[in-house]
């Protein structure tokens, strides 16, 4: 067996010997792949969106249906992100600060939405809240509408984006330990004071970072929402659904690409926000 | 439209969609995926007609996705007042869910199909291979593009239409019909999963000499790729593809929209509506409108599913089941 040091030494040797060639090759590969797989398709969306100039682009974005889709997506995000921030903090707090049976299970459960395809989440909600679902008869009896309306869209989006905040906050809380909080308690701080002045400042960057990721995912969610939305244009079509629908129409011209470009812009903004947060976060 | 008026319209839509409708009729039409523009053209005309007749305003909401997925959604509670589908079997699904009466085909004329279409061809500029009819598609020098009949309703219609043509040409000989289908399948270089993908294969990847899809779509595709100068070809024989409609009785009753829902679907049979349908390249039942559009919708011998195959139930059992005729021919 070769020891770790020997390995490192060997790789260093390799690096200095053929170093520059390999390095250039890898950099080139990364640049080409990024260009081909990410930059080119995104650039193409904008090219098609502006194919007929700015006027038709603007007209496509501001049709009532597309505007409504943008508006609906914003509403869903505004509701989902705060709920998931609260949920994320609660879960991270419980798991980081307490030992109890089922703690490991809870940590696993929180991550489940990541490993389940969103469309499965949508189908689960359909089987639960649908007319023929388990809760269907009860909901009908009390005239409660969940599916094919705003509540269903929000619920599914919440499910799909549930892990983001908890996942960012939890490792930080575990790493920080509870000494500072215990100190605060011995100094006479009440529960919410501990949270407000000790816990929160420690996790705020991770929290914001998680919230940004959560927002980006909520805006782009397609699979789960497509099952429970009902796709009524001007009512329950979110922006990703609107993009798909416009794309599936024949003769749409720039409309589908214009709507897609809006989604792309939102994603890019989220990306910059994320980069900014990463740069400012003290632990990075 | 200026930005301001667009924004104002959007604001109006937002207000309308959140505020409860007062003294206003409202129906939700759940429909198949590519019918958005068709109903965008039809709905305002019906609304004006309804206003003139009853003095009431009507809002028609539209939902579009794959016909079968839509049937499923309605079954699970999507509050459709009317459905306008492109597969009869999807309305039968709603019958099983108790939402639509069993005799829905008898509630509106022409088997509750106010308009219809048929599988037809789209060929390349100037039709270099001289493709005129189904028997040209089994020639060795011809490559054919249509979606996978096992995953796509559109492709299924093409399969059934070709089969019906072969039966018609061979005096009902099943064996010869199956031989014909085997040869046809052998000429398909790629089976896409859906109609949209098959269109892209033909038009953008430039694969194949002929694309088979609903006639109503061949015109739209030709218009979308105007620079390629595709030519529409109507075969001598094809399959009647119903575009069935029904009032979702259970929902309409609950929403108090039975009257306007029935009026909406009945209106689709009026010359006014039929003309818009024909302009969108659907075949219509109104004789005078059909005569007017004879040039873009030439005469064709249509056979129905009942005539050629003895109904959808039999097709499901004999052709589409596991180990059925389609699977056997497809895997050859």
Q: Tell me the per-residue pLDDT of B204-236, one tens digit each, with 9 for 90 and over.
A: 899 999 999 999 989 889 988 889 999 999 999
- Band (pLDDT 50/70/90 cuts) for residue A11 is low
CA distance B256 to chain A (A): 15
Show Cβ contacts of residue A169 under 8 Å, excluding neighbours closer than 6 positions.
A88, A89, A92, A203, A206, A207, A210
- Band (pLDDT 50/70/90 cuts) for residue A4 is low
The answer to whether residues A23 and A129 belong to one domain is: no
Residue A200: CATH number of its domain: 1.10.3720.10
Mean pLDDT of chain B: 89
Q: Which residues of B71-104 are buried (b: 16+ CB within 10 A; e: fewer)?
A: bbbbbbbbbbbbbbbbbbbbbbbbeebebbeeeb
The answer to whether residues B50 and B103 belong to one domain is: yes
Q: How far apart are CA B36 and CA B125, in angstroms?
A: 28
* Out of A166-180, B238-252, B262-276, least confident range: A166-180
Q: What are the φ and ψ backbone dihedral angles of B145, each rounded to 5 degrees? A: -120, 125
The answer to whether residues B93 and B167 belong to one domain is: no
Q: Is B178's pLDDT higher than 70? A: yes
The answer to whether residues B248 and B139 belong to one domain is: no
The answer to whether residues A108 and A28 belong to one domain is: no
Specify the higher pLDDT residue, B8 or B319: B319
Q: What is the pLDDT of residues B49-91, one digit of tens each?
A: 999 999 999 999 999 888 888 998 999 999 999 999 988 888 9
Residue of B nearest to A249 (CA): B34
Q: So what's the pLDDT on residue B4?
A: 47
Q: So what's the pLDDT on residue B18?
A: 44
Inter-chain touch A136–B77, beta carbons under 8 Å: yes
The answer to whether residues B44 and B88 belong to one domain is: yes
The answer to whether residues A184 and A153 belong to one domain is: yes
- Give the percent of chain B with pLDDT over 90: 71
The answer to whether residues A137 and A97 belong to one domain is: yes
Q: Which of the residues B30, B76, B213, B254 would you substitute to probe the A interface, choosing the one with the greatest number of A C-beta atoms within 10 Å? A: B76
Q: Look at the block and give the residue holding tokens 């039409």.
A: B29
| Rounded mean pLDDT, A155-183 | 92
Q: Is B103's pLDDT higher than 80? A: yes
Closest CB to A233 among B34, B62, B223: B62
Residue A175, number of CB atoms within 10 A of its CB: 10
Report the alpha-carbon angle A74-A77-A82, nearest 5: 135
Residue of B nearest to A66 (CA): B10
Q: Which of the residues B32, B78, B79 would you substitute to probe the A interface, choosing the one with the greatest number of A C-beta atoms within 10 Å? A: B78
Is A44 within 8 Å of chain B by CB?
Answer: no
- Band (pLDDT 50/70/90 cuts) for residue A13 is low
Q: What is the pLDDT of residues A230-249, one digit of tens each?
A: 999 899 999 999 998 888 77
Residue B77: CATH number of its domain: 3.40.190.10
The answer to whether residues B264 and B307 belong to one domain is: no
Query: Residue A150 corresponds to which tokens in the numbers above?
Result: 């705003």
Q: Which helix (H) or strand (E) element contains residue B7? A: helix B3-18
Q: So what's the pLDDT on residue A270?
A: 87
Give every strand in the sheet of B283-284, ordered side by side.
Answer: B241-243, B115-117, B283-284
CA dihedral defined by B80, B83, B86, B87, rounded to 10 degrees? 90
Q: How far apart are CA B230 and CA B210, in angstroms?
A: 10
Inter-chain touch A131–B77, beta carbons under 8 Å: yes
- The ipTM estimated for the assembled molecules is 0.75
Specify the higher pLDDT residue, B331 or B14: B331
The answer to whether residues A211 and A131 belong to one domain is: yes
Quote the longest CA-to-CA distance of chain A. Answer: 77
Enumerate the β-bridge partners of residue B121: B212, B233
Q: How far apart are CA B164 and CA B308, in angstroms?
A: 6
Q: Is B154's pLDDT higher than 90? A: no
| Rounded mean pLDDT, A116-127 | 92
The answer to whether residues A43 and A58 belong to one domain is: no
Report the alpha-carbon angle A251-A253-A259, nearest 5: 120
- Band (pLDDT 50/70/90 cuts) for residue A191 is confident
The answer to whether residues A242 and A221 belong to one domain is: yes
CA distance B3 to chain A (A): 7
- Band (pLDDT 50/70/90 cuts) for residue A250 is low
Q: How far is CA A101 from CA A94, A106, A230, B97, in A?
A: 12, 9, 41, 45
Q: Is A281's pLDDT higher than 80? A: no
Quote the longest CA-to-CA distance of chain B. Answer: 65
Find the DSSP H helices in chain A. 4-17, 19-34, 40-49, 54-61, 64-97, 103-115, 118-129, 136-141, 150-161, 163-176, 179-186, 191-194, 200-220, 223-228, 239-248, 255-280
Inter-chain touch B223–A251, beta carbons under 8 Å: yes
Q: Comparing C-alpha atoms, which of A73, A54, A77 is closest to residue A65? A: A73
The answer to whether residues A120 and A213 belong to one domain is: yes
- Band (pLDDT 50/70/90 cuts) for residue B247 is very high
Inter-chain touch A235–B61, beta carbons under 8 Å: yes
Range 105-144 of A in CB contact (< 8 A) with B: 126, 129-133, 136, 140
Give every strand in the sheet of B210-214, ordered side by side.
Answer: B144-145, B210-214, B119-123, B231-233
| Rounded mean pLDDT, A79-84 | 96
Which domain range does residue A202 map to? 54-280
| Rounded mean pLDDT, A208-220 | 93
Q: Which of the residues A131, A137, A253, A262 would you substitute to probe the B interface, choosing the one with the greatest number of B C-beta atoms within 10 Å? A: A131
| Rounded mean pLDDT, B280-289 | 93
The answer to whether residues A108 and A162 belong to one domain is: yes
Is A74 within 8 Å of chain B by CB?
Answer: no
Is A230 within 8 Å of chain B by CB?
Answer: yes
Q: So what's the pLDDT on residue B79?
A: 94
Q: Which of the residues B12, B20, B73, B77 would you substitute to probe the A interface, choosing the one with the greatest number of A C-beta atoms within 10 Å? A: B77
A-B Cβ pairs (cutoff 8 Å, strict): 95
Inter-chain touch B97–A230, beta carbons under 8 Å: no
Q: So what's the pLDDT on residue B14?
A: 46
Q: How far apart are CA B250 and CA B254, in angstroms?
A: 6
Inter-chain touch B6–A62, beta carbons under 8 Å: yes
- Band (pLDDT 50/70/90 cuts) for residue B3 is very low
- Band (pLDDT 50/70/90 cuts) for residue A14 is low
The answer to whether residues B25 and B129 belong to one domain is: no
The answer to whether residues A156 and A253 belong to one domain is: yes
Which domain range does residue B12 map to? 3-113+242-292
Inter-chain touch B220–A251, beta carbons under 8 Å: yes
Closest CB to B37 among A226, A230, A249: A249
Inter-chain touch A64–B9, beta carbons under 8 Å: yes
Find the DSSP H helices in B19-66. 36-54
Q: So what's the pLDDT on residue A247?
A: 80
Instruction: Answer yes or no: are the C-beta atoms of B31 and B74 closer than 8 Å.
Output: no
The answer to whether residues A136 and A4 belong to one domain is: no
Is A85 within 8 Å of chain B by CB?
Answer: no
Inter-chain touch B12–A64, beta carbons under 8 Å: yes
Is A13 within 8 Å of chain B by CB?
Answer: no
Residue of B nearest to A246 (CA): B36
Enumerate the β-bridge partners of residue B27: B60
Q: Look at the block and give the residue holding tokens 């081909």.
A: A36
Q: So what's the pLDDT on residue A255?
A: 86
The answer to whether residues B218 and B325 belong to one domain is: yes
Domains held by chain A: number: 2
Domains held by chain B: number: 2
Residue B173, number of CB atoms within 10 A of its CB: 13
Instruction: Answer yes or no: are the C-beta atoms of A198 and A189 closer than 8 Å.
Output: yes
The answer to whether residues A66 and A186 belong to one domain is: yes
Instruction: Answer yes or no: are the C-beta atoms of B212 and B146 closer than 8 Å.
Output: yes
């Amino acid at each position: 067996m070769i020891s770790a040091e020997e390995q490192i030494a060997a790789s260093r040797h390799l690096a200095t010997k053929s170093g520059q060639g390999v390095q250039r090759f890898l950099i080139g590969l990364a640049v080409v792949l990024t260009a081909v797989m990410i930059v080119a398709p995104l650039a193409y969306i904008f090219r098609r969106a502006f194919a007929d100039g700015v006027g038709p682009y603007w007209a496509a974005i501001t049709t009532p249906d597309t505007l409504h889709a943008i508006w609906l997506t914003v509403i869903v995000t505004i509701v989902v992100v705060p709920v998931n921030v609260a949920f994320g903090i609660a879960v991270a707090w419980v798991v980081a600060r307490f030992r109890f049976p089922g703690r490991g299970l809870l940590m696993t459960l929180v991550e489940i939405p990541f490993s389940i395809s969103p469309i499965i989440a949508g189908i689960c909600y359909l089987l639960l809240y649908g007319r023929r679902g388990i809760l269907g008869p009860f909901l009908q009896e009390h005239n409660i509408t969940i599916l094919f309306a705003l509540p269903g869209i929000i619920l599914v989006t919440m499910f799909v984006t549930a892990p983001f905040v908890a996942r960012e906050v939890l490792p930080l809380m575990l790493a920080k330990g509870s000494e500072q909080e215990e100190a605060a308690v011995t100094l006479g701080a009440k529960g919410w004071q501990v949270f407000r002045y000790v816990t929160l400042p420690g996790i705020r960057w991770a929290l914001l970072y998680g919230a940004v990721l959560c927002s980006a995912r909520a805006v782009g969610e397609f699979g789960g929402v497509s099952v429970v939305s009902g796709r009524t244009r001007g009512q329950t079509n979110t922006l990703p659904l609107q993009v798909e629908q416009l794309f599936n129409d024949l003769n749409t011209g720039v409309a589908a690409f214009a709507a897609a470009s809006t989604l792309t812009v939102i994603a890019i903004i989220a990306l910059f926000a994320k980069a900014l947060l990463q740069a400012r976060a003290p632990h990075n | 439209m200026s930005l301001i008026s667009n924004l104002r319209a959007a604001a109006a839509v937002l207000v309308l969609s959140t505020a409860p409708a007062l003294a206003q009729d409202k129906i939700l039409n759940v429909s198949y995926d590519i019918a958005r523009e068709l109903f965008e053209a039809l709905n305002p005309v019906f609304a004006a007609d309804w206003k003139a007749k009853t003095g009431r305003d009507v809002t028609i909401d539209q939902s579009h996705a794959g016909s079968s997925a839509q049937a499923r959604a309605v079954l699970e509670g999507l509050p459709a007042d009317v459905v306008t589908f492109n597969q009869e079997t999807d309305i039968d699904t709603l019958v099983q869910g108790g939402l639509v009466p069993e005799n829905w085909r008898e509630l509106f004329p022409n088997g509750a199909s106010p308009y219809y279409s048929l599988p037809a061809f789209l060929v390349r500029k100037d039709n270099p291979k001289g493709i005129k009819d189904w028997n040209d598609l089994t020639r060795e020098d011809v490559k054919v593009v249509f979606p996978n009949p096992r995953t796509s309703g559109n492709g299924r219609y093409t399969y059934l239409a070709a089969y019906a043509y072969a039966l018609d040409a061979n005096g009902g000989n099943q064996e010869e019909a199956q031989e014909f289908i085997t040869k046809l399948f052998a000429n398909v270089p790629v089976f896409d999963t859906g109609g949209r993908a098959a269109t892209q294969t033909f038009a953008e990847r430039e694969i194949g000499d002929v694309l088979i899809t609903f006639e109503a779509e061949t015109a739209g595709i030709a218009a979308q790729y105007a620079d390629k100068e595709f030519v529409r070809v109507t075969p001598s024989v094809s399959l009647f593809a119903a575009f069935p409609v029904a009032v979702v009785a259970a929902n309409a009753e609950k929403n108090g929209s039975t009257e306007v829902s029935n009026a909406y679907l009945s209106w689709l049979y009026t010359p006014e509506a039929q003309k818009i349908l024909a302009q969108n390249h659907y075949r219509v039942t109104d004789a005078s409108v059909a005569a007017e559009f004879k040039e873009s919708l030439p005469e064709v011998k249509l056979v129905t599913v009942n005539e050629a195959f003895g109904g959808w139930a039999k097709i499901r059992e004999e052709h589409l089941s596991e180990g059925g005729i389609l699977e056997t021919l497809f895997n050859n």
